[in-house]
Amino acid sequence: MNKKLLLGIGLGVLLVWFSVRGLDFQQTVSHLKNISLDWAVVSLFFIVLMQALRSYRWGVMLEPMEKIPQFTLFAVTSVGFLAIAAIPARIGELARPYLISQKSSIKMSSALGTVVVERVLDSLAVLTVTVIVIVFQDLPSWMIKSGILFFILTLAMIAFIVGLVWQRQTAVAVIDRILRRLPGRLGEKVNSVIHHFIDGFQIITNVRRLLYLLFLSAVVWLIDAAAIYALLAAFGFDLPLLAAFVVMVILIAGIAIPTAPGFIGNWHYACILGLSLFGVAKPEAFSFALVYHFLSMLVLLVLGLGFLPFNRFSLADMTRQMKKPETEA
């Protein structure tokens, strides 16, 4: 993890340098002073709404295993997303499954399975947006190639999940054969984890619920685009709604690669790159990136730290929980 942390920090520093290189800071400060606070508040509202809708969607995924109170889901989601931003190498993704396993009968590995499904649903929603963007906006070749690669990886993940669920006995038999080679009780422990992990995928067998989740995923990212568009309006940028979707897609790609804590560097450079496609000058784009990053991190910090005293965890706790036989969890 230390190597990944150093890689993320190094990349973040490099992208910060690219973001500020040749920048006229006086113009940046001038644009920050002229921001419309009303539109900024609207953007902030959408960011919070997106977080609430994410927690609700996760509850719909978990419901076949156990119905969790919405307040608990929102609290755990808030702490979990703070962990994702603060802990490098996406280790923070384990926080939500760990915390929900402490507050319910749901196994951590099953909850982790729902997080994987959640990421696939998000990928499908973002891919749909990407296709629309490619149709209506000329994009750099690297972004189109990245979109194709992302599409292939998403299809592979979907095929993997469907295979595990619909051919569970065959898949488990193959996995069992492999695990028998592991020493001692390690094979038993891993086998138990994998079985519960597959349980987290069972949501896709309910077509009605799956369609509802696809709808919720689309709404989540529409709200994200609305937050970006409101902030563009706050800066007085006369840009089409398409610009918000372009910035959103490039930003998602930017923070998916190794990042420094808080997505510093990746976030700013992605916003500048996205807005440059619409002729926005670097000082204006950088001021937008600063405010958008600040508002997003503010929501994560306020909500995450607010609920953290009631949802404490550590990397050691999460690691121990993953190693436990699931019958003891």
Digit-coded pLDDT (tens) for 256-276: 777 778 888 999 999 999 999
Residue 148 lies in a domain: yes
Four-residue CA torsion sign, 124, 75, 8, 284: positive
Residue 52 lies in a domain: no
**Inter-residue contact 112 to 96 (CB < 8 Å):** no
Question: Which residues make Cβ contacts (< 8 Å) with residue 190, sequence separation at least 6?
Answer: 179, 182
Can you read off the two tokens belonging to residue 82?
């703070």
- Can you give the pLDDT at residue 40? 96
- Can you give the pLDDT at residue 328? 45
Q: Give the range of the structural domain holding residue 317, as residue numbers without chain letter.
A: 68-323
Mean pLDDT computed over 139-164: 77
Mean pLDDT computed over 88-105: 84
CA–CA distance, 72 with 114 (Å, rounded to integer): 17
- Can you give the pLDDT at residue 47? 97
Residue 8 lies in a domain: no
**Inter-residue contact 111 to 96 (CB < 8 Å):** yes
> Which region holds residue 315: left if phi is over 0, alpha if psi is between -120 and 50, else beta?
alpha
CA atoms within 13 A on the CB side of 309: 2
Report the 10 Å Cβ neighbour count for 243. Answer: 22
- 195-223: per-residue pLDDT in tens? 666 766 777 778 899 899 999 999 999 99
Residue 81 lies in a domain: yes
Residue 167 lies in a domain: yes
Higher per-residue pLDDT: 236 or 183: 236
Render 185-199 in DSSP notation, one character per residue.
THHHHHHHHHHHHHH
- 313-327: per-residue pLDDT in tens? 777 767 666 656 554
Question: Which residues make Cβ contacts (< 8 Å) with residue 284, sequence separation at least 6?
Answer: 27, 28, 31, 235, 237, 275
Number of structural domains found in the chain: 1
Residue 48 lies in a domain: no
Report the 10 Å Cβ neighbour count for 284. Answer: 18
The Cα-based distances of 80 to 72, 247, 298 in angstroms read 12, 24, 15
CA–CA distance, 235 with 138 (Å, rounded to integer): 24
For tokens 């019958």, name the residue: 327
Average pLDDT, the chain: 84
Region of poorest pLDDT, from 64-68, 158-162, 209-213, 217-221: 158-162
Four-residue CA torsion sign, 212, 213, 214, 215: positive
- Can you give the pLDDT at residue 329? 42
CA–CA distance, 109 with 329 (Å, rounded to integer): 10
Residue 6 lies in a domain: no
Question: Which residues make Cβ contacts (< 8 Å) with residue 101, sequence separation at least 6?
Answer: 107, 108, 111, 321, 329
Mean pLDDT computed over 267-294: 94
Render 156-171 in DSSP notation, one character per residue.
HHHHHHHHHHHTHHHH
Strands (E) in the chain, as ranges, are: none
Can you read off the two tokens belonging to residue 282?
């670097």
Region of poorest pLDDT, from 17-21, 252-256, 276-280: 252-256
Mean pLDDT computed over 54-66: 93
**Inter-residue contact 41 to 35 (CB < 8 Å):** no
Can you read off the two tokens belonging to residue 17?
């340098």
Residue 23 lies in a domain: no
